[in-house]
Structure 1
Amino acid sequence: MTAGRGAPDVVVIGAGVAGLACAQDLVAAGVAVRVLEASDGVGGRMRSDRVDGFLVDRGFQVFNTSYPQVQRRLSLPALALRPFTPGVLIHTESGRRRLTDPRSQPSALAGLLSGRVAGARDLAALGALAASDALLPPHRLKRRPDRSTRAALAGAGFTDAFVERFFRPFLSGVFLEDRLETSARVFHLVWRSMLRGALCLPADGIGAVPRALAAALPDDAVRLETGVERLTDDGVETTAGESVPARAVVVATGPGPAVALMPDVEVPDYRTVTTYYHAPERSPLHEPTLLVDTRRRFLNTCVLSEVAASCAPPGRALVATSVLGADAEGREPALREALSEVYGADAGRWELLTVRTVPEALPAMAAPQELTRTTRVAPGRYVCGDHRATGSVQGALASGARAAREVLRDLPSR
Structure 2
Amino acid sequence: MLEPAYQADVVIVGAGVAGLSAAHRLTSAGVTTAVLEAAPCVGGRMSTEKVDGFRLDRIGQLLSTAYPELRTTPGLDALVLRPFAPGVLLHSDGRHCRAVAPAAAGGARGALHAVRALASAPAKSAPRSGAPLGGAVDQARLGTALARLAMTPVERLLSRPESPAGQALTARGLPARTVDGFLRPLLAALLCDPELTTSSRCADLALRAFACGRLCLPEGGAEALPELLARTLPPGTVHTGVRVTSVSTSAVTTAEHGEIRCRAVLLATDAQAAADLLPGLRVPGFHPVTVLHHTTDEPPGTGAALLLDADRGGPVAHTAVVSAVDPSRAPAGRALITSTVLGPPPPELDTAVRMHLARLYGTSTARWETLAVHHTPAAVPAMRPPHDLRRPVRLLAGLYVCGDHRDTSTVQGALHSARRATSAILTDLGAAGSIHRSEPLPSAKAA
Length-normalised TM-score, structure 2: 0.86
Q: How do 1:2-401 and structure 2 match up within 5 A?
A: 6-73=6-73, 78-101=78-101, 103-105=103-105, 109=113, 111=115, 115-116=130-131, 117-231=133-247, 234-296=250-312, 297=314, 298-327=316-345, 329-401=347-419
1:128 to partner: Cα distance: 1.9
Superimposed CA distance per residue, residues 204-248 of structure 1 (whole angstroms, 9 cap, x where no aligned partner) = 112111122223321111111112122257411222252211121
1:105 to partner: Cα distance: 4.8
Aligned partners of 2:252 and 2:259 also within 8 Å: yes
1:114 to partner: Cα distance: 5.3
How many Å separate the matches in 1 of 2:25 and 2:240?
20
How many Å separate the matches in 1 of 2:305 and 2:430?
51
Structure 1: gaps of 5 or more residues: none
* Of 236-245 and 345-354, the range deviating more from structure 2: 236-245
Q: Mark the CA change 1:377 to 1:354 in structure 2 (over 3 Å): closer, same or farther.
A: same
Q: Residue 327 of structure 2 aligns to which amino acid in structure 1?
A: A
Q: Residue 144 of structure 2 aligns to which amino acid in structure 1?
A: A
Superimposed CA distance per residue, residues 116-160 of structure 1 (whole angstroms, 9 cap, x where no aligned partner) = 442234213212212211112111111111122122222332111
How many Å separate the matches in 2 of 1:166 and 1:85?
17
Provide the secondary structure at the position in 1 that maps to 2:387.
coil
Q: Residue 349 of structure 2 aligns to which amino acid in structure 1?
A: R
How many Å separate the matches in 2 of 1:294 and 1:180?
14
How many Å separate the matches in 2 of 1:77 and 1:405?
21
Q: Mark the CA change 1:412 to 1:72 in structure 2 (over 3 Å): closer, same or farther.
A: closer
* Of 186-195 and 314-323, the range deviating more from structure 2: 186-195
How many Å separate the matches in 1 of 2:394 and 2:331?
47
Aligned partners of 2:388 and 2:407 also within 8 Å: yes
Identity of aligned residues (%): 40
Q: Mark the CA change 1:188 to 1:221 in structure 2 (over 3 Å): closer, same or farther.
A: same
Provide the secondary structure at the position in 1 that maps to 2:104.
coil
Q: Mark the CA change 1:239 to 1:75 in structure 2 (over 3 Å): closer, same or farther.
A: closer
Superimposed CA distance per residue, residues 374-410 of structure 1 (whole angstroms, 9 cap, x where no aligned partner) = 1122342211111111111111111111111222222
RMSD: 2.4
How many Å separate the matches in 2 of 1:63 and 1:174?
9
Provide the secondary structure at the position in 2 that maps to 1:78.
coil
How many Å separate the matches in 2 of 1:77 and 1:83?
17
Aligned partners of 2:9 and 2:262 also within 8 Å: yes
Provide the secondary structure at the position in 1 that maps to 2:383.
coil
Provide the secondary structure at the position in 1 that maps to 2:366.
helix
Aligned partners of 2:97 and 2:114 also within 8 Å: no
How many Å separate the matches in 2 of 1:320 and 1:110?
24
1:5 to partner: Cα distance: 9.4
Q: Mark the CA change 1:74 to 1:123 in structure 2 (over 3 Å): closer, same or farther.
A: farther
1:336 to partner: Cα distance: 0.8
Matched, 1:410 2:428: yes
How many Å separate the matches in 2 of 1:164 and 1:68?
29
Structure 2: gaps of 5 or more residues: 117-127, 436-447
Aligned partners of 2:99 and 2:113 also within 8 Å: no
Q: Mark the CA change 1:204 to 1:132 in structure 2 (over 3 Å): closer, same or farther.
A: same
Q: Residue 52 of structure 1 aligns to which amino acid in structure 2?
A: D
How many Å separate the matches in 1 of 2:425 and 2:130?
54
> In the comparison of the two structures, how many residue pairs are matched?
411
Higher helix share: 1
Aligned partners of 1:275 and 1:320 also within 8 Å: yes
Length-normalised TM-score, structure 1: 0.92
* Of 275-284 and 41-50, the range deviating more from structure 2: 41-50
How many Å separate the matches in 2 of 1:171 and 1:110?
18
